[in-house]
Amino acid sequence: MLLFNYDLAEELELDPFIFSSDYGLSIFSGNEIPEGSTPIAQAYAGHQFGNFNPHLGDGRALLLGEITNIHNQVKDIQLKGSGLTPFSRRGDGKSALGPVLREYLISESMNAMGIPTTRSLAAIASGENILRDTLLPGGVLTRIASSHIRIGTFEYASKLEDKNQIKKLADYSINRHYPEVAEIDNPYLAFFAAVCNEQASLIANWMAVGFIHGVMNTDNMTISGETIDYGPCGFMDEYHPLTVFSSIDIFIDDKGSVLTTIEAVQSCERITLDSAHDATVILSDEALGIAVLKPEERLAPLGVAMFQTGVPRLQAEVAVAGFPYGDVLVTPSLTFGRLADLRGLNGEENIKRLSLTAQDGDACGPVFDNGGAVLGMLLPKVSTNGQVLPPEVSFSVDTDLILASLAGAGITAQTTDTMAFMPPETLTLRAAENTVLVSCW
């Protein structure tokens, strides 16, 4: 056990000496289920960066149960990073130690500043290595929250199209968080207004201290008005309205040049690679929507993208590297799918159609074949004339067009026409070596 919050334990009426001992370690690491607990992973939906994803959920978190504190308030106890859940998809349900320590530090700092937030009771070193871009030490966080009912929880319930279920969820939420509205003539409208007020107050508090959440989507916002899910968050040292965090892009040569999108860098006063190296735009291709960045000092990336010039087989497995989970942005993860067509739905020759359920954090990420070569760059999902395609339909910019654009600017990228194969674990490492975090300031 690396960190234990003695003050919070006393507030929860948990004996700090017992729960900071080996007994507490066995519970907070997920190795032992406390008596009376039935751990669950919660389902929710979410609008992520403007697009709706109906099927999200706790991919690496388990709710142990509820506890009443000394103020007679009900609190959730949740383990984050303890292992697989029904919503883990291809992930391992684990957490690296770095994000655990980050959430502990920032959540407790926010609480000290008087900003509503989830709390951290314990930070555990799991003793195992977690495969991300490399092997990293694993960790488990014990999170305390007023509840884990999110805006996305209601979005998930609404997709069930069962008014009785929505009413049950609303009644429970009112009773737990806003009991004062229960006797109003229209308690549900009053509940909605109360949640809106809490959200507005919370964000005003964030702005007052320069806090940037990074993934302020409906799946990461609680109805209680507490800050939750400290992923790609940070603080502005000096206020600037264009400060944002960040996108994933790929190295295209051994000097550290990076392929990105115009959208990612068009409004930046400053661009950094991995938050440490300044870069400038040396190519903007409006037709393709791509841009190339050059670091101001030469870098030595671990890997460089190898672009596929051969004709891939239809229905071959592909993977996009991106940030599909708002709170796991330290390294990219892979979302797997298949190559559905070499053209778009209307026969467009400049894009490939993928059968792949990409999320918004995947947009602009590299699309790899199952040999680790880059097939293209994933396009953001858009709606046309009010029509939204099924979630499993995605598109990528064609490699040949990217190469032609680079060549026109005097940039020679590495290519291959070999159709190889590598296991997912090796492909994950390849993706991490080829990718870099681009931040716009």
Q: Where are the domains of the chain?
A: 3-149, 152-235, 306-433
pLDDT digits (tens, 9 = 90+) for 109-132: 999 999 999 999 999 999 998 875
CA–CA distance, 121 with 78 (Å, rounded to integer): 10
pLDDT digits (tens, 9 = 90+) for 267-295: 566 788 876 788 888 888 888 878 899 99
pTM for the model stands at 0.62
Which of these, 318, 295, 305, lies nearest to 402 by C-alpha position?
305
76 has a pLDDT exceeding 80: yes
CA–CA distance, 395 with 382 (Å, rounded to integer): 10
CA–CA distance, 191 with 203 (Å, rounded to integer): 19
Contacts of 238 (CB under 8 A, 6+ apart): none
The whole-chain average pLDDT of the chain stands at 85
Residue 278 designated active-site: no
The pair of structure tokens assigned to 328 is 């796991």
Q: Determine contact, residues 337/322, Cβ cutoff 8 Å.
A: no
Residue type, 72: N
Domain 306-433 belongs to what topology? Thrombin, subunit H (2.40.10)
Q: What are phi and psi of 252, to 5 degrees?
A: -120, -5
Contacts of 282 (CB under 8 A, 6+ apart): 257, 292, 293, 294, 409
List strand residue ranges (DSSP E) for 25-168, in order: 46-48, 51-53, 61-68, 74-80, 95-96, 119-131, 135-145
CA–CA distance, 326 with 215 (Å, rounded to integer): 5
Q: Determine contact, residues 399/308, Cβ cutoff 8 Å.
A: yes
Render 125-154 in DSSP notation, one character per residue. EEEEEEESSSEEEEEEEEEEES---BHHHH
Based on its alpha-carbon atoms, the radius of gyration of the chain, rounded to whole angstroms, reads 23
Candidate list 219, 253, 360, 398, residue with the active-site label: 219
CA–CA distance, 364 with 357 (Å, rounded to integer): 14
pLDDT digits (tens, 9 = 90+) for 190-232: 999 999 999 999 999 999 998 988 778 888 899 999 999 887 6
Q: Which residue has the tokens 């894009």?
A: 351
